[in-house]
Amino acid sequence: MFTVGIIGRPNVGKSTLFNRIAGRRIAIVDDMPGVTRDRIEYIAEWQGKKFKILDTCGYDLREDLLKKEMLKQFYASLDESDFFIFLVDGKEGVHPLDEIVCNILREKEKPFILAVNKIDNEKSEANVLEFYALGVDEIIPISATHGKNIDELLDKIAENVVEDDEIDA
């Protein structure tokens, strides 16, 4: 099944977004980074398209934390997904790791949509602009906690879904 991975640094709000999409609290949400240790998946249906959403573990490619296992999991999740929601933190701004991950996604020719999270109100909307420095054409500002623009994000994913019967045909 067409698989959509949610990817991003620890604490950007991956689990919150996943729960928002799944509509129920089945992943663990915590203030401490790195809580999502195992992947959790959910089959979503939107605009008549079915796809699997994976809440993958957060990547952390900092030199001091370059753990073999973590990297292995990160690359495995890359291979597993057909499309990515690349989630970044609109409160914190662009992080050097965001650029690294953006480059890996491009190298691997993995399509993704950049979603800037924690855009809870009008005042924080200005924070979105700096993320264009990552070289993307389009950004979806969202608030996972307030449920803002989640429909637009799902629309975007549905547009990109290639269903199995289309692949077989």
The enclosing H or E element of 42 equals strand 40-46
Using rule CB under 6 A, residue 13 touches ligand GDP: yes
Q: Is 90 annotated as a binding residue?
A: no
Q: Is 8 annotated as a binding residue?
A: yes
**Applying CB under 6 A, which part among 24-32, 62-70, 105-113, 128-136 lies near ligand GDP?**
24-32
Tokens found for residue 117? 């999270």
Site string for ligand GDP, 95-124 (x = CB under 6 A): ----------------------xx-x----
Q: Is 58 annotated as a binding residue?
A: yes
Q: Is 111 annotated as a binding residue?
A: no
Question: Rounded to the nearest 10 degrees, what angle do helices 14-22 and 150-160 cross at?
Answer: 80
Q: Which is nearer to ligand GDP, 28 or 158 (CB)?
A: 28
**Which of 7-36 are b and which e, b meaning 16 or more Cβ less than 10 Å from the residue's Cβ?**
bbbbbbbbbbbbbbbbeeeebebeeeeebb
In the annotated binding site for GTP, the residues are 8-15, 55-59, 117-120
